[in-house]
Structure 1
Amino acid sequence: MGEAKSGKISLKLLVDRNENKVIFGEAGKDFVDFLFHFLSLPVGTVVKLLSKNKMVGSLGKIYESIEAMNVSYMEPNVDKDEVLSPKVYSSLGGTPLLLGNKSAADDELDGTKVYYRCNRGCAYMSNNMLVRCTACGNKSLGVEIRYIESPENEKAAEIGKGGGYVKELVNYMIMDNLVVKPMSTISSITLLSNVKDMTAVETLEIYIGKNEAVDLLKESFETDKVLTSLFLGIQSSSKLSAHKKRSKKRDY
């Protein structure tokens, strides 16, 4: 388990080919961390990732409204780009699979946190250089300030932070509806006991890159059979077409 094939994350699926469905998946820490990170994504980022025209419901229309709104109607301290493309804060640091850019945590360079101060000498500072100065109303904070932690503070912080969300001591079971739990022999046997024909059970290894990551996020909004829909969808359609052809042939 782990990252392979140029940074992609691997996921092993146990598949019932007769029923054409995923029984369950097996993954390591990297996939579970990626999955749990969905909950830390701002709504604006989710809409942007999935494309406003493909969103289920009306969230895409809200995004479209802000995008089309003339800046003259917006409050002077509001930056449309920040609303439509908000910074993502996460214990993971970067989120290369989904975002392909830096997260807010990437402002830490070589152990240094970056802040910004008003170039008019005001006492206020922020980690966002695009906000207005509270004291004088200056449109941006143009003076970069770097806060360097001592080695002792860095070591203390690392003791309490393993990175990501879950530990990598075990593998994790991923259900079709994205329920996640530690891998269990008893749970595996229970799930396999529901399979009518064990000869139809196959293992399928999937490698998830940015495109698959976005598709997975999208499917999680639309179905409770996410893994089957995403990774067996094409096979399911082919199987259905083949079945129709066989049925038609028998009619003659």
Structure 2
Amino acid sequence: MATSNKVSLKLLIDTKANKVLFAEAGKDFVDFLFNLLSLPVGTVIRILTKHSMVGSLGNLYDSIENLNNTYLQPNQNKDSLLKPKASSSICAAQVPLLLADDISPDRKLYMCKTFHLNVADDPKAVCPNCKHYMSTEVPYIAREAVKEVLNGDEGGFVKGVVTYMVMDDLAVKPMSAISSIALLSKFNVKEVGALEERVVHLGMDEGLKLLKASLQSKTVLTSVFL
């Protein structure tokens, strides 16, 4: 469930092993996790901050950021790489945990003032026909938005009537009593008294930690919440 601008989930913790066995989560958290797969690489680097990145992608980001505009093609700009827009299919209700300034429900497209049949998402692009800037905005209606209106779709990726089980390594599947019992056996939990239920809330800080941990660890929930 969502609490104001946060997403909540219930953890089952093995206090002896100091480990999250799994989380009981709703649609909002699962949609958030699935949305991570839709983020452009440039956006992931930027929101994790370049200097905390493992490997060399942060250096590549720096190179583009520091490159003089005179070396760029006339129709190109740095923001297309440094601040790429996420897909319009991403559910805007789930993404602000990470992308407060990247996601807009309205995509902007532009044409030249003589309305040749060309469109661009950059108002500084040049029309190949008349050579004028394509700075005249035209309305854009996303296919997904049309589907939601026509079908009464609740948006996102998964259905909201189901409770989901999210493992420590972010594997996701529908929740059931049988699967919960099977997991306790799998983790060799013999003392039920050592198990603790804890409700946690995922906001901007936790979202960033979760994204970073998902790139580095197989025990993501434990890393972020314990």
1:143 maps to 136
Change (3 A) 1:147 1:48: closer
The percent identity for this pair of structures is: 49
Q: Cα distance 1:148–1:61, how it changes in 2: closer, same or farther (>3 A)?
A: closer
Give the CA deviation at 1:134: 2.6
Residue aligned with 1:224, SS? coil
The DSSP-based 3-state class of the residue aligned with 1:107 is coil
Aligned partner of residue 53 in structure 1, secondary structure: helix
The AA in structure 2 aligned to 1:87 is K
The aligned counterpart of 1:240 is none
Equivalent position of 1:186 in the other structure: 178
Does the aligned pair in 2 maintain the 1:11–1:206 contact within 8 Å? yes
Q: Which segment drifts farther, 174-183 or 120-129?
A: 120-129
> 1: CA distance between counterparts of 2:162 and 2:124?
43
Q: Which is worse superposed, 207-216 or 189-198?
A: 189-198
The answer on whether the counterparts of 2:147 and 2:153 sit within 8 Å (CA) in structure 1 is no
Change (3 A) 1:19 1:156: closer
Indicate whether 1:228 and 2:222 are aligned: yes
Structure 1 position 102, deviation (Å): 4.9
**Which residue number in structure 1 is paired with residue 158 of structure 2?**
166
**Structure 1's 182 and 116: CA in aligned 2 closer, same or farther, altered over 3 A?**
same
Instruction: Return structure 1 stretches of 4+ with deviation > 6 angstroms.
Output: none
Q: Cα distance, 1:124 vs. partner?
A: 2.0
**Alpha-carbon offset, residue 160 of structure 1:** 8.0
TM-score by length of 1: 0.80
2:72 corresponds, among 56, 71, 74, to 74
Number of residue pairs aligned between Structure 1 and Structure 2 = 220
Go from structure 1 to structure 2 and tell me whether the alpha carbon gap of 1:64 and 1:26 turns closer, same or farther (over 3 Å shift): same
Q: C-alpha separation between the residues in 2 aligned to 1:74 and 1:81?
A: 12
Gaps of at least 5 residues in structure 2 are: none
Secondary structure of the 1:125 match is coil
d(CA) in 2 for partners of 1:116, 1:11: 42
- Length-normalised TM-score, structure 2: 0.88
What runs of 5+ residues in structure 1 fail to find an aligned partner? 109-113, 233-252
The correspondence for 1:48, drawn from 43, 46, 49, is 46
Rg larger for: 1
* CA apart distance, 1:120: 5.0
1:243 is matched with which residue? none
Match of 2:127 in 1: 133
